[in-house]
Chains A and B, each alone.
Chain A
Amino acid sequence: MKQTYHADHGRKSRGIAGYASLILFFVLLFGFAVLNLFWPKRTLSELENRKLAQMPSFSWTALLNGDWFEDFSTYVQDQVAFRDGWIDLQSDFNALCLQKVEQNGILLGKDHWMFTKNFGTPSTKQLDKNVSAVAEFGSRYPGRVTFLLAPSASVIYEEELPLAAPMVDENTMLDEIFTEVSLTADVIDLRSVYTDAKDEYLYYRTDHHWTTYGAYLAYQQFCTLKGLTSFDTSAHSSVDVPDFYGTHYSSTRYWNVAPDTITYYPLDNPMTVYQVNGEADFSTAETATMVDTEKFETRDKYAAFLGGNNGYSVIEGDGEGSILVIKDSYANCFIPYLTANYAKIGVIDFRNYAFGPDSIIEQEGYDQILVLYNFQTFLTDTKVIYLNRPTTLTAES
């Protein structure tokens, strides 16, 4: 049967039409091959927020054990012509033709919402450690520790999730966390405030952070708890930065995306970012304002707040007393409000400060301590336990 078929085919296709698929195939194959050779090579991909592989250096050992080939494949893959376009095309096909509501671990919700995928019953081994760590930390500083754990957007906007998404039972987990920590520290549970204000702009849709307004509501809760007068937003003018395509967008590359807008208050309070030399030992690296407006020109706009996740920095506020904030990146747009209430605001991010905080609290004399995380980080972060790292400094210092 096959024999008759191609004899037949050979007779039918005459002239240029007979060569058409050959020409097309070879043009596609050779054309792209040549284009690829001369395509400019990049060191990093802003869209993917990572370094791209470079031409691997040659060595006989690497060649013989096969590593060189593997590295070279990665290099070709990373430096391919129109890389961003190819990834967009795959995302479009998945969303439009395959009707998928999930791309690279991000759920594509209704009304342009994007959520971090967190399904089933995750292992709570790390979470349990983190909860005990905060509780223990609270018991060492009675009356001085506040624990603010921001819920995920998917808890507040549950109805925007894709159909029947089997998300983890974050509500129950949050209940348990707050119950345990509240025995030794003050806790701030934002769920009821956020649910009442859910028509407002609380979370970015294309990014995993809360908005400046979402942070403000959290800050108000903190003020109520501490009996403070909160930062007066009407006395300050705010600036809007449009066209923010955040981390969720980078993962999904969803075609039908609605970009977010970042709001910030231009404040003059100086922030000193320290270079960490050792435990409670640091030297000034730079002094700047809290919002690095140059970052708004780049893709990773949220990094403008506090200039990213520095190990230790101190901000001069306009109020009285001092507070130390131990945090993840959620705090970056929250901290500027604290300048209304404190004279000195210290900020520790354990990702870049691998010591226990006790020595700094003693040395710098912080009155209050705020531990601020969001649920997603808190669930898996392995560095929260640094809260109780014993000091490595000897007694005489």
Chain B
Amino acid sequence: MVFSNLFFLYFFLPLNLICYFLAKSIHVRNGILIVFSLFFYAWGEPRYVPLLVGMVLINWIFGLMIEKYRGQKLAKAGLIGACICSLTLLGIFKYLTLILGTTHDLFGLPSVVPQILLPIGISFYTFQLLSYVVDVYRGEVEAQTHFFRLLLYTSLFHQCIAGPIVRYKDISEEILYRQINRGEVARGINRFAAGLAKKAVLANTCGLLADQFILTDAAVADVSQFTQNAAALSAKPAVILWMGVLFFMLQIYLDFSAYSDMAIGMGLMIGFHYKENFNYPYLSSTVSEFWRRWHISLGSFFRDYVYIPLGGNRKGLPRQIFNMLVVWTLTGIWHGANWNFICWGLYYFVLLTIEKTFLLKYLKKGRVWPHIYTLFFVVLGWGIFTADVEGAPLPLLMSRLFLPQGGISALYYLRNYGVLLILSIFCSTALPGKIWQWAKRHTSVRLVLLAVVMILSTAFIVAATNNTPLYAQF
């Protein structure tokens, strides 16, 4: 299920909140959350519920083992066991098709590539569980003795399928002790409503446009039409393609951050505090800064569990560059089992290495050009990122972006989508937040805004067919 689904909004969520607040004891409340979360996960993908529960079970057992044999060799064995189990399962369900597909293309083996359906959210909850066992091993948090409490942390519908990647140590105390006050509930409600509008009103429309501009109308309906897509793409003028990539850039931010907003908002409604996941990434003046503001929970995961353990920047420049290569290859591949995502990761590795080695000091002196530089390379990055669709191959897309050619005029599209474009850009900056800071002081303004946002979002959800968030595939 996705949050911008009528059944979720006007049945699942209200029912969840009623049951939750009617229950008095924290244990019953947690039980209610687990039942609702498993139902949420089962929605559309019932077969993979045992996988989710099984992975929690494995990590729970290894967590206890690490705790029991703390300081001994068995603790390390527990950690290694947990990591191997989690990563193997992730590898089978997410990457096996790509690996076998590639060996099939190169060596003809195996003759038939098995098509494994990606379990929704697996990249998110595997990483949550990895952070749990590593933190237990490091002694940063105690192992959870109750299986169901660890299951609650992992499966909680707020963040299970689309992030943020919440660390166990950040909310371990809130599993049993949650304080709810109305200021926070109100803040959660507003945050949720803002996220919903970003998703339903802006992100979905931007997404449709991105598809329309980069692919053909026919291809939007059926991505398997490889040759037709490629032919249509070759005929697209560069301006239209740039608009397509720009709308994709807005979509992926608005969509993804909207999900984080809604998760954080729903957390606040019942007393969970999740860390921020986005901090206006498109306002960055360097690519390094962009990655400190974009999908923060993923960046910090790789920093804390890969980059720093490998030695970070403490072992000399060559080693640092090697560490970065590892981190960015992993970041790329985390986003999907496709070669264009690996290219995308390596693209950032190159950019960040250039910045780290010499460019950063010049960027710091500039005022305007660093922003232009950053946005240009980020937009181009999204161009690489979108090229995972059959028929929109990366080299073709890149050549079309940079070799200007005529074709249909972009004027109509600017006229038709101009306001949407401006509004979407506006909502990617900090300005709406600042306006809200002023508006919320007046109760009436606050209420009108809340009602308008909820009603408008509902209208957009009813009027459009639902589309699943992009990153549930990650």
**A residues neighboring B (CB under 8 Å):** 6, 9-10, 12-13, 17-22, 24-26, 28-30, 32-33, 36, 63-66, 69-70, 72-73, 76-77, 80, 83, 86-87, 89-91, 93, 97-102, 119-121, 123, 162-166
Q: Which 5 A-B pairs have CB atoms at the shortest separation, nearest pair first?
A: A90-B463, A86-B462, A10-B183, A164-B411, A166-B408
CB distance from A281 to the nearest CB of B (A): 38
Q: Is the beta-carbon distance between B187 and A90 smaller than 8 angstroms? A: no
Surface stretch bound by A, among B1-9, B289-297, B303-311? B1-9
- The answer for the CA separation of A97 and B422 in the assembled complex, in Å, is 12
Instruction: Output the least CB separation between A332 and chain B (Å).
Output: 29
Q: How far is the CB of B207 from chain A (nearest CB, A)?
A: 15
Chain B residue numbers with a CB within 8 Å of A99 are 418-419
Interface 9-residue window, one of B92-100, B138-146, B446-454: B446-454
Smallest beta-carbon distance A277→chain B, Å? 36
| Complex CA–CA separation, A392 to B251 (angstroms) | 55
Question: Per-position contact with A for B403-424: 1 when CB-CB < 8 Å, else 0?
Answer: 0000011011001111110010
B454 — which chain A residues lie within 8 A by C-beta? Answer: 25, 28
A residues in contact with B412, CB < 8 Å: 162-166
With both chains docked as a complex, state the minimum distance between the C-beta of B26 and any C-beta of chain A, in angstroms: 21
B318 proximal to A (CB < 8 A): no
B466: A residues at CB distance < 8 A? 73, 77
Q: Report if B44 contacts A (CB, 8 A).
A: yes
Measured between alpha carbons, how far is A325 from B267 in the docked complex, in Å?
A: 66
Interface size range on B against A: 35 or more
Chain B positions 141-195 with a Cβ under 8 Å from a chain A Cβ: 181-187, 189-190, 193
Residues of chain B within 8 A (CB-CB) of A9 are 183, 186-187
B456 / chain A contacts, CB cutoff of 8 Å: 89, 93
| Nearest residue, chain A, Cβ from B11 | A33
Tell me the bound Cα distance from A86 to B462 in angstroms: 6
Taking the closest CB of chain A, its distance from the CB of B262, in whole angstroms, is: 13
Whether A90 and B459, one on each chain, are in contact in the complex, defined by CB atoms closer than 8 angstroms, is: yes
- Within B419-456, the residues touching A (CB, 8 Å) are 419-420, 423, 441, 443, 446-447, 450-451, 454-456
A64 CA / B45 CA spacing, docked (Å):
8
Q: Which partner residue on chain B sits nearest A104 by CB separation?
A: B463
Q: A21-B186, A87-B463, A91-B463 are in contact. Are A66 and B10 (CB under 8 A)?
A: no
Chain A proximity of B445: nearest CB distance (Å)? 11
Residues from chain B with Cβ under 8 Å of A63 in the complex: 46
| Residues in B neighbouring A25, C-beta threshold 8 A | 189, 193, 450, 454
User: In the complex, what residues of B have CB within 8 A of residue A89's CB?
Assistant: 455-456, 459
Given the complex, which residues of A lie within 8 Å of B443, measured CB to CB?
13, 17, 20
Is B458 an interface residue, CB under 8 A from the partner?
Answer: yes
Q: Given known contacts A76-B6, A98-B420, is B463 in contact with A18 (CB within 8 Å)?
A: no
A93 and B452 alpha carbons, distance in the complex (Å): 12
Residues of chain A within 8 A (CB-CB) of B19 are none
Given contacts A73-B7, A93-B456, contact A102 B462 (CB under 8 A): no
B-chain residues with CB within 8 Å of residue A21 when the two chains form the complex: 186, 189-190, 446-447, 450
Instruction: For A72, list chain B residues within 8 Å (CB).
Output: 7
Q: Please name all residues of chain A whose beta carbon is closer than 8 Å to the beta carbon of B463 when the two chains form the complex.
A: 86-87, 90-91
Q: In the bound complex, do residue A120 and residue B417 qualify as a contact, i.e. CB atoms below 8 Å apart?
A: no
Sample of 23 A–B contacts (CB below 8 Å): A10-B181, A12-B441, A13-B443, A18-B186, A21-B186, A25-B189, A29-B14, A32-B458, A72-B7, A77-B6, A86-B459, A86-B463, A89-B456, A90-B460, A91-B463, A97-B419, A98-B420, A100-B419, A100-B420, A102-B416, A120-B408, A123-B228, A166-B408
B85 interfacial contact with A, CB 8 Å: no
Name the CB-closest residue of B to A99: B419
Task: Quote the shortest CB–CB distance from B178 to chain A (angstroms).
Answer: 15
Contact B415 A163 (CB under 8 A): yes
A88–chain B nearest beta-carbon distance, Å: 8
| With A87-B462, A90-B462 as contacts: A24 and B411 at CB distance below 8 Å | no
Contacts of B187 in A (CB 8 A): 6, 9
| Chain A min CB distance to B470 (Å) | 19
B10 touches A32 (CB 8 A): yes
A166 to B212, CA, bound (A): 14
Nearest chain A CB to B215's CB is how many angstroms away? Answer: 13
Q: How far is the CB of A1 from chain B (nearest CB, A)?
A: 11
Evaluate contact between A100 and B416: CB separation under 8 angstroms: yes
